């Protein structure tokens, strides 16, 4: 069920967005990572609290405290993903490439042997 926006005061919304942006800047500076991240605050436009898509953190919580908590959660999740999952994927891809190279070399040797047998 979609939530309804309770805070229609543009000044309050602007203040919350400014606070979220300041908090993201603080997190980037504090941890010296994720400088590429951007922020979009779209209160009550989703049933979830927030998510990261590509290099953007989307926060859907209207309440400032909950929005800040969600921002921090998504930031940490992004760091863990990039710091842990990305290197793992890089290693796996290198292993796959090495395996493919080895299989190609073996196939070429076998083709040569078979060609010699039929010559």
Residue ranges and CATH numbers for the domains of the chain are 10-118 (3.30.2010)
User: Could you list the pLDDT tens digit for every one of the 119 residues in the chain?
Assistant: 444 455 568 899 999 999 999 999 999 999 999 999 999 999 988 889 999 999 999 999 999 999 999 999 999 999 998 888 888 889 999 999 999 999 999 999 999 999 999 98
Q: Are 43 and 13 in contact (CB under 8 A)?
A: yes
pLDDT at 46: 85
pLDDT at 87: 85
Buried b (16+ CB within 10 A) or exposed e, 58-86: bbbbbebeebbebbeebbeebeeebeeee
Do you know the residue count of the chain? Answer: 119
């Amino acid at each position: 069920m979609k939530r309804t926006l309770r805070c229609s005061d543009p000044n309050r919304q602007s203040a919350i967005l400014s606070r979220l942006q300041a908090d993201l800047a603080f997190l980037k500076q504090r941890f010296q990572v994720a400088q590429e991240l951007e922020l979009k605050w779209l209160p009550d436009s989703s049933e979830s609290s927030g998510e990261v898509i590509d290099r953007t953190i989307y926060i859907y919580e209207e309440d400032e405290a909950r929005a800040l908590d969600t921002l921090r959660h998504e930031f940490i999740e992004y760091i863990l993903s990039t710091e842990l999952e990305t290197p793992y994927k890089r290693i796996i891809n290198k292993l796959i490439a090495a395996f493919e190279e080895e299989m190609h070399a073996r196939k070429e040797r076998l083709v040569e042997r078979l060609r010699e047998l039929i010559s």
